[in-house]
Structure 1
Amino acid sequence: MTVWLEVEGKKRRVELLPVEFDGGTERAVECVVDGSAITANACMLQPGVMSLVIEGRQYRCVLDGNGVIIGGRRFAFEREDPRSLQGRRSAGGGATGPRAVKAPMPGRVVRVLVKAGDEVAEQQGVVVIEAMKMQNELKSPKAGRVARVAIAVGDAVGAGDVLAMVE
């Protein structure tokens, strides 16, 4: 699974690699952060509190709203997951300016419901993608004019790919 985290104003790509869980309280977690592989030994101490051992150093991590406290220092972060409903609704910023219609997950374009120059209403269908044998209609994030359609029927799309822009 790949997520984007904005930590202290810097956007980072984090790939969480699948690991086998042996049923105990501790497990090795492998991830790639901005292209650098990291292995951590993670142990959940209680809900919202985790012990991490990375390269022989131990860290106590306490989740705090949209941040985490590590070694007495708070790091603010925001998670951008293209699969999440919140991420789809807020992708592209506020109500003014161009807004992107993004793929929530990898799939294939089944139908394109608009073309460049079309006027659309907020939550009007723009494109239909098929993922995991289910069809998902992606809707316009705002009322406006379709500035660009970046895909065609039959195209393969990845999670987070921009499919169309609405101005």
Structure 2
Amino acid sequence: MQVFLLCLRISYKNAFLWRIKSDRFPKMDPKQITIQSTIAADIKKVWDYYTNPQHIIKWNFATDDWQCPWAKNDMRPGGKYSARMEAKDGSFGFEFEAIYDTVVDQKNFSYTMGDGRKATVSFENQDNKTLVVVSFDPESENPIEMQRGGWQAILDNFKKYTEAN
């Protein structure tokens, strides 16, 4: 028996309902923050641009005054992801690290961040476009909406980069 999740998406112009087969995505914790974007590119390209370090360094930052000078990605269960994110003026920076828990090529992956928080990233083909859904455990130091906004800004930057290249 397949179960369908009904999702309501409201934009400034319209609201619409769509369904997602639940077997395509890992189970999401209701306490997690979820963001998404539909990329005007096929799933193979979207997966490559999202997981390949030569592309990650081009989009993995929220605003144009930040950069990602390097990224490493050993994409397999138990493999490590790491990337440096920093302000272009050198005023602040940090390294983001995670260990992959699961990887299903061109479908989804999950990982555990250095502080123990979990995240999942799922990809779904939608008529020559790709829906990317990211769910992650929030951290406790910043407001939920700030975290959602920051991760969404990075995903929006990914969309912009992928569609332009």
Q: Which has the higher contact order (CA 8 A, sep 6+)?
A: 2
Shared fold, TM over 0.5 = no
TM-score range, shorter chain: 0.3 to 0.5
Larger Rg: 1
Higher helix share: 2
Higher strand share: 1
Q: Structure 2 length as normaliser, TM-score? A: 0.34
